[in-house]
Amino acid sequence: MRTISRRAVLQAMAAAPVAGAVLGTPHIARAAQFQFKYGNNLPLSHPLNKRSQEFAERIAKDSGGRVEIKIFPDNQLGGDTDMLAQVRNGGITFFTPSALVIATLVPVAAISAVGFAFSGYDQVWPAMDGALGAHVRDAIAKVGLHTFEKIWDNGFRQMTTSGKPIQAAADMAGLKIRVPVSPLSISMFKGLGSSPVSLQFSEVYSSLQTKIVDAQENPLPIIQVAKLYEVQKSCTLSNHIWDGFWFIANGRAWNSLPPDLQGIVGTAINESGMQQRGDIKALNDGIVADLKSKGLAFNAADPESFRTKLRDAGFYADWKTRFGAEAWGLLEGAVGKLA
Ligand code: X2X
């Protein structure tokens, strides 16, 4: 370790701003030149928030204190719809909406969430880090938002219910199931014959508890950290949608950063995103056993019954038209023919 001589300290103090000298404080805490807020919808214990704290510390350090990022987890600043409005108007600088949720603003962003498209992560990451992801980021750029290259992982979505276990598509009939604020989710669950209700994530626990809805669908790490097992009985490993969180920034705030700081921020956020993908992968290994020990029952499902039902309902044909040939072609290029 380098020791700092008394003389160097005195020199540094002599060079410090006047206000500091007047107050006589030896440590002069200067406000960061760029102060940014980052809002998200997940509990603090989710890997997304753990990795976010890391990148915020790294960015403060690597920028020499010029960039400060304050994290507001767990819907502290409002639900998804509110945060999406705030990141657009600059009230917050960063937000991590699910692909399902940002699609309310940029419809093509839901292309990665088409039901039963990805068979596993070996298809997900090459597509999202490749042409399909680039296509979505370009579309998001058109509404004035910057998107970092590496999408963060939410996971493969699974269904839970407080009622009769869901074993095949027929069990979906009339099911009151909460889905995110997402036209694709509504269309998919209507296609499966259920009665979906769009609610922001901030309302999920209480709406299950008070039986406004009977079921919901989310990746297992969310079911765990948001304690949804307390208000649900059984879980079906349906893997019906792969979901990721796009890390987005308000365009004006992003463009106000000089290139060196953009580099520091972008590198830190993308690298933390890669580590967060690894966290979700590691979590998935022991999570079923943990959720079982907390009282959630698990059952298998017949995935083909769901796909057939969706095909018969015209779900794939409908969304192929809505997304357009280019985006659909990129998706099928990654996962094979869908419809
Ligand atoms: O709201 C949800 O279900 C969640 C947490 O998965 C999303 O952000 C889409």
Mode of pairing for the β-strands spanning 248-250 and 215-218: unpaired
Mode of pairing for the β-strands spanning 248-250 and 158-161: unpaired
Structure tokens at 247: 């890390």
Structure tokens at 89: 């108007």
Which residue puts its alpha carbon closest to atom 1 of ligand 1? Answer: 201
pLDDT digits (tens, 9 = 90+) for 288-338: 999 999 999 999 888 899 999 999 999 999 999 999 999 999 999 999 999
Token pair 């399909």 in the structure block, residue: 132
Check residue 187 and give its pLDDT: 98
Which residue puts its alpha carbon closest to atom 5 of ligand 1? Answer: 201
CB contact at 8 A, 228 and 208: yes
Check residue 53 and give its pLDDT: 98
Dist. CA 28 → ligand 1 center (Å): 42
Dist. CA 13 → ligand 1 center (Å): 50
Q: CA 191 from chain center: how many Å?
A: 25
For residue 97, give every residue at least 6 positions away whose Cβ sits within 8 Å of its Cβ, in sequence order, or none: 80, 83, 84, 245, 246, 248
pLDDT digits (tens, 9 = 90+) for 121-152: 999 999 999 999 999 999 999 999 999 999 99
Cα–Cα distance between 263 and 248 in angstroms, integer? Answer: 15
Domains and CATH numbers, the chain: 7-335 (3.40.190.170)
Task: Say if residue 122 is exposed, middle or buried (CB neighbours under 10 Å; 0-12, 13-18, 19+).
Answer: exposed
Counting atoms of ligand 1 from 1, which one is nearest the CA of 80? Answer: 8
Counting atoms of ligand 1 from 1, which one is nearest the CA of 180? Answer: 1
CA–CA distance from 92 to each of 105, 162, 190, 332 (Å)?
A: 17, 36, 34, 35
For ligand 1, whether the C-beta of 181 sits within 6 Å is no
Token pair 């889905």 in the structure block, residue: 179
Check residue 285 and give its pLDDT: 87
Dist. CA 218 → ligand 1 center (Å): 7
For residue 100, give every residue at least 6 positions away whose Cβ sits within 8 Å of its Cβ, in sequence order, or none: 110, 113, 180, 182, 184, 185, 241, 243
